[in-house]
A and B are shown apart, each in its own frame.
Chain A
Amino acid sequence: MHEQRKSFALTAASIAAGVLTICCSVSLWSGPTAPQRGITAAAEVVSPREAVGPASPPVVPEANPTRKPTGAPAPPAPVLPPPEKIPVRPARVDAEPPPVPPVSLDIPNTSISVNIVEVGVDKNDAMEIPNSFWEAGWYRYGPAPGSESGNAVIAGHVDSQTEVLPFAQLRAVVPGTVITVGLADGRALRYEVTEVRNVPKATLNGSEVFRRDGPAQLKIITCGGKWLPEKGDYEDNVVLTALPL
């Protein structure tokens, strides 16, 4: 079986050539409204434009002050909070210390026991996934495992060009399974699986999966469902949801 799959992969590769190498990276959301990407900072400089200036000449104090400085139509009734209710602070930003990143993921009763690396976004606007068989990626721009709120998102490849990888077992993980995520500071976080389901890629709700607020959850994602040769992609994402214990 293994040999057969290998030869299938090679044959398919020779048939579909580039399509396969594109693999799952076809973005099902990208369309005419997809943002521009891959532009360097220097090239993105927008010419300075004039700020909207004051509507009346600034500076000059009223030579003949009246209680009502202009004859403009009556402004809306003030609904302003009292001064003490308005947040005022120094206009500077103190960088928050980065969260402790996850370094390992173990799911019992599967061979999913991988190192976690930090990933971002690739040139196709897709989440980066490590190529190594023994690694999965944590989306470093979202919450980390252990954050008080939001979804920590970890994703791994379901297959390589030649092999089925451990993440192929993700879809069979049963609710109630306790997952362990190891952090760089040595802590081990435990999560209980509440749901594993196939979500067609065309309907994957990114703003839900990558939610940065709301209840803390762990989302573990790979590909699944049928292989769509014409797209060089799987039809679904397999999305596991787990809650912190």
Chain B
Amino acid sequence: MRRSLYTVGTVLVMGAAAMAGPASAAETESQASLSVLHAVPDLTVDVYVNGALTLDDFTPGQLAGPLPLPAGNYQLAVTAADAPDASAPVIGPVDVTLEAGGNYTATANLDAAGNPTANFYTNDVSPVEAGKARLTVRHVAAAPAVDVLAGGAPIVPNLSNPGEASLSTAPGTVSAAVAAAGTTEPVIGPADLNLAEGTSTIVYAWGSLEGGNLALATQVIEGLQSTPGAVPGGQSGLAAQSADNDGAALGLGLGALLLGLLGGAVVVNRRRTARA
């Protein structure tokens, strides 16, 4: 039911957009969204997309985007910051496919052994249940498997580079830390993470254990909220509007009116019982 209501809404919105300009509606429909995270310590780079310089002097710990791109195939390459073009990449080139409506994050990072590499993640942008927040953790660090802790307790066990895990949780601030798998002594954090309701928070563990520069990077995708399924403002029926004096009932279909009369009859009967 909920889905069908939203579908109607979507169709209406699309209809409105089509009236405003058919080209823009079609364009939006075929767009994908790409973010790029730089998670290689101590290395300033340039990022090329399809051979064109797209991010200049991109520094570690920075997040670029989201970049709206037409769906399709792309080639990403990461070069030294002083490279004249994409011909001598230090990472890649990597061929990726962006699907229409998809939301992606490409990371330049270290693999578990400490070598520069790239990963391409598909971000979950499905609606978040009302009253919840989505948390995704990704291991893109030169480090063995880790446990992710919230308030000192493991919430994601045994996560290895380049793995990811996702969970739905109560919104609010959590004290997050990362420890070697099976331990609780933090190698990163603890740090406060604010998980806002209806958003997706993606946390990357990056850097190098050996280099002593492990850190967290955070990306937030907003606007994924759902609405409560109902507003239950009554408890007993004592404030019911009767069918007799409710003019609005006239506007309803015959079937609904009959239902209303039946409902009224039941109430009347019960009131008689109550009087008796």
Contacts and interface: CB of A to CB of B under 8 A. Distances in A.
Contact of A157 (B77, B130, B234): B234
B227 A54 contact: no
Contacts of B61: 90-92
Interface stretch (B17-25, B148-156, B182-190): B148-156
B232 A91 contact: no
B173 interface: yes
Contact of A33 (B1, B74, B92, B158): B1
Contact of A210 (B216, B220, B227, B248): B227
Contacts of A186: none
Contacts of B127: 35
A44 B150 CA distance: 14
Contacts of A10: 274
Which of B201, B233, B267, B270 has the most C-beta atoms of chain A within 10 angstroms of its own C-beta?
Answer: B233
Interface in A169-224: 171, 198, 201, 204-207, 209-210, 212, 221-224
How many B residues are at the interface, by size bracket? 35 or more
Interface of B: 1-3, 5-6, 9, 37, 49-56, 58, 61-65, 67, 69-70, 72-75, 77, 85-96, 111, 115-122, 127, 129-131, 138-139, 150, 153, 155-160, 162-171, 173, 192-194, 197-198, 201, 204, 216-220, 223, 225-243, 246, 248-249, 260, 263-264, 266-267, 270-271, 273-275
Interface in A58-81: 58-59, 61-62, 65-70, 72-73, 75-76, 78-81
B122 A24 contact: no
Nearest to B120: A52
Interface in A135-175: 139, 141, 155-165, 167-168, 171
A5 B235 CA distance: 13
